[in-house]
Chains A and B, each alone.
Chain A
Amino acid sequence: MSEIKIYWIVIIFYMFIVIGIGLIASRRTRGISDFYLGGRNIGPFVTALSFIAAYFSSVVIIGGGGFGYKFGMSTLWVGAINVLLGCTLCWIFLGKRLRKYTQKFGTMTIPGFISERFKAPETRFFLAIVIFIFMIIYNVSVLKGMGHIFEVLMKIPYIYGILISGTIIILYVTIGGYVAVVWTSFIQALIMIVGLFLLTSKSLIAVGGLTAVNERLAAIDPGLLSTPGVWGYAGLISYCLIVSFGVWGMPQLVIRFYSIRNTAVLRIGTIVVTIGGCLALLPYLNGAISRILSPNLTNPDLAIPTLTKLVLSPLGAAIFLAAVIAAGMSTFSAVLIIVSSAIVRDFWQKGLKKQTSEKKLLRAGRVVSAVAGIISLLIAFKPPGLVLVLTAFSWAIIASATLWPILFAIYWRRTTRWGVTISMFAGSSVALIWMVIGKPFGIHGFIPGIIVGLILIIVVSLLTKPPSKEITRKIWED
């Protein structure tokens, strides 16, 4: 059987599984709370592994491999900080309190929680618009990644690649809502773990073990082995912060804490997410191994696809291809649900105060998910230059707007409405302007964005009238 045929069989089998999950999940989706939060009844394993699948997209697997190829073993630090800051500490510091307080306020979304917590309706509108625009742009980058993987590994045109993956995702998200997203993400995380471990073990065998990897990398360039090596501290630290601390403000990830069954199961979830998150190190390690086996690649992003073809059998490569596509699909689907909730729940129902039946809301949720997916698909067909520039920092803008409001909402009772409003507006604007003017001093826009946001949330809160006792009592009393 030809290599391409094996790829197709594995991919079609995998697509049937995710659509099947969507159909089963649609039976459990009766109202808007089910569609956006799965009725707040998701277990620890599904929550933790779906968090990992949404966190590490195909961009991380392919792009991370590219970083490993270019900068060597120091990139392992990115994976390590992803595990410590992006998984373990994120779950410890945000999980329990967000689960508890969002239930107290009866909110389903990030804009909803911040708006209700601070009695600040303007934040709901602002965040809904930021999420709509920049999440769709982020989704374009995820789709693009998947399209290129189909192109390189399966030899099918880019357009067909994004059409196949995009259509399947829109289908299962629209019919199954959040339950379909978390369950498909759970399966996708398992496929990612199997795929990445398979590739890593075969690559290590091909090179002759970890000691041989280090010896051969040092022979190419000693800078590929040490930290920060050829990357330098500025690049390494700022990148680690963006992709690890930025997670604390990403709605498609933080929403997992809203939907987990109760605070007790968060304990198991924290252990599972930490152990599962260790897969974050593998793309970087494989990228470095690829540098040894194929030292003359012109594009570092080809490091992982090339390594796959070199060390895996056709069936193994097909499983790994499914893992990469799974990583992209899980991220794309998680973002679709968030965009839909921002428009239907925050902008339309709560923001414009539209009274409507549960049935109509559910229908609106499904329609908006589909429309958001189709918009992303249309843009991804031929992304304009501006969109390509924006994809690089959509994550930073969203995180600059939401990170401090979320943290301060659950940890500092003196935080005020205007402290939060001004901080989120200024933080995201600074991040955007910083990137548009070409990243002065080589610093990513996320860093000035969060520094300005942090200063403003503290200073403005201290200068404005403290929040009413009614608000602080509601959140801080058991």
Chain B
Amino acid sequence: MGPFKTPWSTFFAWVVTAVSIIIAITWAFIDLQLSKRKANKRENKRE
């Protein structure tokens, strides 16, 4: 049994929901860094 007397098989639905939020934040961060790197490369090329 997991927290709140929930069977683990059901409790993992809450875990998947939390993981979705983590995925969204991580993807947004990585995408931002990649865009910055791309913009820098373009800038260097122009110079």
Contacts and interface: CB of A to CB of B under 8 A. Distances in A.
A390 B10 CA distance: 32
Interface residues of A, number: 37
B31 A227 contact: no
Given A88-B20, A88-B24, A215 B14 contact: no
Chain B interface bracket (under 10, 10 to 19, 20 to 34, 35 or more): 20 to 34
Contacts of A33: none
Contacts of B17: 79-80, 83-84, 278, 281
Contact of A211 (B4, B10, B27, B35): B4
A88 B27 CA distance: 10
Contacts of B27: 88, 92, 267, 270
A74 B10 contact: yes
Contact of A73 (B10, B23, B31, B32): B10
Contact of B28 (A77, A81, A268): A268
A275 interface: yes
Contacts of A80: 13-14, 16-17, 20
A76 interface: yes
A256 B35 CA distance: 22
Interface string A66-104: 000000011011011101100111011000100000000
- Interface residues of A, dominant DSSP: helix
B45 interface: no
Contact of A214 (B6, B9, B31): B6
B15 to A, nearest CB: 8
Contact of A270 (B6, B7, B16, B24): B24
Contact of B20 (A87, A218, A264): A87
A376 interface: no
B5 A214 contact: yes
Nearest to A210: B4
Given A264-B35, A270-B27, A73 B6 contact: yes
B7 A225 contact: yes
Given A87-B20, A270-B27, A271-B28, A226 B13 contact: no
A209 B4 CA distance: 9
Nearest to A91: B24
Interface of B: 4-7, 9-10, 12-14, 16-17, 19-21, 23-25, 27-28, 31-32, 35
